[in-house]
């Protein structure tokens, strides 16, 4: 006796919902990743990338180049230094906001050496992105010279006239710079400069004394707050003797009142008095 054929199951017209649900899930994951990338902590990510470079022998970054810059993190990266900033109040015995700051503990993190014009150029562009607002306001200038990258901090954004105390807005600018420098192992030279208008106070008998003290306070914050190695830091003061503009105009004198943070090219640093 012939078996009866099983009736064919009706075609399922809702199978498209499975593919649609998968597609929606993938979209959600994609935009979640985009959001996470847009709010990346550049300092922490830089440390992670530097650690990966050491583990993989540098073979997965720029064909073995030994440079790590904030450009490696994408232009959308932002430095999140608020967790290690000093208390906004500056007591009389701590005018530069050092005691209220929580020191970074990444002194043993691997450091990346910027070596040569190409490396310096990439890191310069990264710093320009981090300090774009200060650059637009002419409070900060960044340029390349023979010795390396010069980050020029004007007095107007850092100090009151005749004072070596870093202002609150100057603290914020300096913290953004220092956050970007914590992953590199280049020597950092800090130079204080002044204009030609004489100063003679109980604290600062000359522009030379003022410029030295300003450079020293910037160095002290980098070392104390960010745990940067003192072996990689040095400070000097030149008073009015190394101007970058004419002292005959108010604009020129304003440019000469500055602190330069110099990221030294290793080849040049060997011949420099550090």
Instruction: Specify the fold of 29-269.
Output: 60s Ribosomal Protein L30; Chain: A; (3.30.1330)
How much is the average pLDDT of 59-66?
39
Res 151 pLDDT > 80? yes
Q: Report how far residue 83's alpha carbon sits from residue 39's, in angstroms, rounded to the nearest whole number.
A: 15
115 CB-contact burial (10 Å; exposed 0-12 / middle 13-18 / buried 19+): middle
Q: Which of 198, 192, 196, 128 is nearest to 159 (CA)?
A: 192
Q: Which of 44, 37, 39, 41 is nearest to 182 (CA)?
A: 44
**Hey, where are the domains in the chain?**
29-269
Res 102 pLDDT > 50? no
| pTM for this model (two decimals) | 0.64
How would residue 96 be classed by pLDDT, with cut points 50, 70 and 90?
low
pLDDT at position 156: 93
How much is the average pLDDT of 135-148?
95
pLDDT at position 111: 82
Q: Which of 13-27, 72-86, 253-267 has the lowest mean pLDDT?
A: 72-86
Res 76 pLDDT > 50? no
Q: Report how far residue 180's alpha carbon sits from residue 42's, in angstroms, rounded to the nearest whole number.
A: 8
């Amino acid at each position: 006796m012939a078996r009866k054929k099983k009736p064919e199951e009706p075609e399922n017209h809702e199978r498209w919902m499975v593919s649609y649900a998968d597609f929606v899930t993938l979209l959600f994951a994609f935009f979640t990743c985009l959001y996470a990338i847009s709010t990346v902590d550049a300092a922490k990510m830089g440390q992670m990338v530097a650690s990966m470079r050491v583990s993989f022998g540098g073979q997965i970054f720029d064909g073995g180049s030994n440079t790590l810059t904030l450009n490696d993190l994408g232009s959308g990266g932002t430095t999140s230094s608020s967790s290690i900033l000093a208390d906004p109040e500056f007591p009389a015995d701590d005018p530069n906001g050092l005691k209220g700051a929580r020191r970074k503990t990444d002194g043993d993190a691997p450091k990346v050496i910027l070596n040569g014009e190409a490396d310096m150029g990439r890191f310069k562009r990264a710093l320009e992105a981090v300090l774009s607002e200060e650059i637009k306001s002419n409070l900060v200038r960044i340029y390349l010279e023979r010795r390396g990258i010069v980050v020029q901090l004007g007095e107007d954004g850092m100090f009151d006239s005749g004072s070596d105390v870093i202002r609150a807005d100057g603290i914020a600018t300096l913290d953004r710079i220092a956050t970007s420098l914590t992953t590199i192992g280049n020597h950092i030279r800090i130079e204080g400069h002044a204009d030609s208008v004489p100063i003679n106070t109980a604290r600062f008998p000359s522009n030379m004394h003022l410029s030295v003290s300003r450079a020293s306070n910037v160095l002290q914050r980098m070392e104390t707050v960010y745990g940067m190695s003192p072996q990689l830091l040095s400070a000097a003061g030149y008073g009015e003797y190394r101007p970058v503009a004419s002292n005959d105009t108010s604009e020129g004198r304003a440019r000469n009142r500055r602190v330069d943070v110099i990221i030294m090219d290793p080849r040049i640093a060997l011949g420099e008095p550090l």
